[in-house]
Amino acid sequence: MNSIAACTLLLSYLLPYVSPKTFPLLSVLSLAVPILIVINAIFLVYWVVLLNKKGILSLVVLILGISHVSSLYKLSGKSTDDNKEGISILSFNVRSFNRFRWIDSDVIPQDISKMIRAENPDIFCAQEYYNNPDSDFTQYPYKYQDFNNDNGELALVVFSKFPIINKGSLHFKKTANNIIFSDIVIKEDTVRIYNVHLQSHKISSNTDKLAKEDSQKLLKRIQISFERQQEQVEKLIKHMKTSPYKNIVMGDFNNSAYSYVYNKVISKGLQDAFKEAGRGFGTTLEFDLFPVRIDFILVPQDFEVLEFKNFDQELSDHYPISSRIKL
């Protein structure tokens, strides 16, 4: 069992380099990487307690994938005492402000508004945004909102304290998912902010509901969504190459840090703010089985990540993430 777990984890290290269109079934394995890391860690502790050298197998595999381990859990974070230094950015999938009452509360729009006002980020990117009259973000003088579906209900939005001088949408077809961008002037600099919401797998976070699904249909659906994510990210990377400014990519990837789409974006001269300054599991999605991190803030390598923060308020099925960066 230890050998199987170790070999499977070792195989998963190749997944960020394997195109979902080429091997869609293999790409699905990336969703199980956190479980494989935990299993191998348990085996390692088990053999150490028994003073048995068999623990070397899992130890070596975990060391070989140290970047994978650090994507799952960070022992210590980083923060700056001067909260006025740099700029603060925040990303949050607001899940249409609890429009269909997934959470037993009538004041989610007000609570999200209060949270944003309290955190006071300079730039706030929202996914699955719904024009709810009870939400209030009037503290932001600049805003870009784009709908990418026929009913015009859910949008991607960029709120900014700094002027937006250019904006646009990548307009994905036949889906409500999308990517938008805003060119924002920050003092003497201009940066391009990409607000990302990649194709969803439509997997229930409730294990009981997940267990009732037809496994073949579920697997087929995930394979298709992986392929669509690849197409969407390829479109994003092509667009990023035309940018005259440094690019910041943030939002809901609907995929993990062990995936092909994450690796393709991060390889374009970006760094993961959580891996630079985060702490703990960095969980961004409520899921029964294991900690899930599918929301990211990715910034240029020559930017300094001063701080990264995870939130645990139950205001959506996602949790907000924020970072303070120095241009």
**pLDDT value for 205:** 59
Tell me what the mean pLDDT of segment 150-164 comes to.
Answer: 88
Tell me what the mean pLDDT of segment 226-251 comes to.
Answer: 97
b/e burial code for range 208-233 (CB count within 10 A of at least 16 → b): eeeeeeeeeebeebbbebbbbbbbbb
CA distance 38 to 321: 24
Least confident of 44-58, 164-178, 203-217: 203-217
Using DSSP's 3-state secondary structure scheme, residue 118 falls into: helix
The pLDDT of residue 311 is above 60: yes
H or E element: which one contains 98? helix 95-98
More confidently predicted of 83 and 250: 250
Distances (CA, A) of 305 to 31, 70, 78, 269, 271: 27, 16, 9, 14, 9
The pLDDT of residue 216 is above 90: no
Q: What pLDDT band is residue 75 in, cutting at 50, 70 and 90?
A: confident
**pLDDT value for 79:** 65
**pLDDT value for 18:** 92
Residue % of the chain over a pLDDT of 70? 93
Task: Tell me the pLDDT tens digit for each residue of 54-73.
Answer: 999 999 999 999 999 889 88
Task: Tell me the pLDDT tens digit for each residue of 20-64.
Answer: 999 887 888 888 899 999 999 999 999 999 999 999 999 999 999
Matching residue, tokens 């990023």? 240
Tell me the helix, strand and coil percentages in the chain, rounded to 5.
Answer: 35, 25, 40
CA distance 285 to 31: 13
Sheet containing 164-169: which strands, arranged edge to edge?
A: 164-169, 178-186, 189-197, 246-252, 295-300, 270-272
Task: Please give the structure tokens belonging to residue 109.
Answer: 């729009």
Q: What is the mean pLDDT of the chain?
A: 92
- Write the single-letter amino acid at 272: D
Q: What pLDDT band is residue 211 in, cutting at 50, 70 and 90?
A: low
